[in-house]
Amino acid sequence: MLAATLGACTSLAPPHERPPLPVAERFSGAPPIEVAGTPVADIHWREVFVDPRQRRLIDIALANNRDLRVVALNIEQANARATAQRASLWPTIAAGVSASRQPQPGGNRQEVYSAGLLIPSYEIDFFGRLRSLTDAAQAQVVAAEEGRRTTQMSLIAAVAASHLALLADDELLSLTQQTLDTRVESLRLIKLRYDNGTASELDLQGAQSLVANARATFAQQQRQRALDENALVLLLGQPLPADLPSGAGTLAQTAP
């Protein structure tokens, strides 16, 4: 009865009140906007990204990304702390059994057995301190879970952006290669005309300059593609698999 009475004491922790937003909900003078349908944050990523190649890359990243693994371990750690803190609200009971033998006069022995339940230590929550610590630990679990969700959304967005950048690099490389082939052919024709005296040396040097510029652009595009591929590999946590499904081009990518 005493424990129940003391445990019912009013907590000294102030009630939680959500702080006001540091910015206004809408621009000054702007009419309120009514959003119909499901909020974007509640839409599953498979409904947003429908390209099979892009989906495969996102699945690999969600399974292997190091940062996401660290966040998952942090959630497990927060859950363990909350469980341990919740256990402090209840007393710890220990059971013990002991036996002893004592010699008696006449060669007899006296055997003594004892058993009991003990409460080694128990802090009565006078003013809700333990309850507040338990609530704080539970809040850390919620915060860790929201952090995992935020990290997962950021990872999905980064993989999708890197995939689109890689598609754009491939298309630019193809276009640059076509431009280089065209300028090489043009140089060949101008060189033929120059050898036959129907083109000036200025025309020849201009064609050579265009070919050199096209080759430099092609080398830059190759370097940029290598950088974008390495960034995607870093997000995936493994090299690009050879059995990736064929995907659509940049202009065929659709998303709500």
pLDDT in tens, 168-186: 999 999 999 999 999 999 9
Exposure string (b/e) for 139-177, b if CB count within 10 Å is 16 or more? ebbeebeeebeebbeebbebbbebbebbbebeebeeebe
- Residue 111 lies inside a defined structural domain of this protein: no
Share the mean pLDDT of the chain: 79
Q: Which of 129, 134, 132, 123 is nearest to 3 (CA)?
A: 123
CA–CA distance, 20 with 24 (Å, rounded to integer): 10
- The values of phi and psi at residue 45, to 5°, are -65, -25
Indicate whether 116 pLDDT > 80. Answer: no
pTM: 0.64
Indicate whether 82 pLDDT > 60. Answer: yes
Where does the pLDDT of residue 139 fall: very low under 50, low under 70, confident under 90, or very high at 90 and above? Answer: confident
pLDDT at 49: 85
pLDDT tens digits along 211-247: 999 999 999 999 999 999 999 998 888 888 888 888 7
Where does the pLDDT of residue 98 fall: very low under 50, low under 70, confident under 90, or very high at 90 and above? Answer: confident
Nearest 5°: CA angle at 179, between 193 and 231?
Answer: 150
Where does the pLDDT of residue 256 fall: very low under 50, low under 70, confident under 90, or very high at 90 and above? Answer: low
Indicate whether 115 pLDDT > 90. Answer: no
- Residue 107 lies inside a defined structural domain of this protein: no
CA atoms within 13 A on the CB side of 157: 7
- Residue 103 lies inside a defined structural domain of this protein: no
Q: What is the CATH number of the domain that holds 214?
A: 1.20.1600.10
pLDDT at 184: 96
Number of domains the chain contains: 1
- Residue 213 lies inside a defined structural domain of this protein: yes
Token duo for residue 71: 């966040």
Contact 168, 252 (CB under 8 A): no
Contact 211, 180 (CB under 8 A): yes
Token duo for residue 251: 């202009």
| Domain range enclosing 227 | 49-88+132-251
Nearest 5°: CA angle at 6, between 3 and 11?
Answer: 135
- Residue 187 lies inside a defined structural domain of this protein: yes
pLDDT at 191: 93
- Please give the biggest Cα pair distance in the chain: 139
pLDDT at 19: 83
CA–CA distance, 202 with 78 (Å, rounded to integer): 74
- Residue 180 lies inside a defined structural domain of this protein: yes
For tokens 């499904």, the residue is 245
- Residue 108 lies inside a defined structural domain of this protein: no
CA–CA distance, 78 with 70 (Å, rounded to integer): 12
More confident residue, 141 or 88: 141
Amino acid at site 156:
I
- Which residues, 6+ apart, have CB-to-CB distance to 55 below 8 Å? 46, 49
Amino acid at site 256:
P
- Residue 26 lies inside a defined structural domain of this protein: no
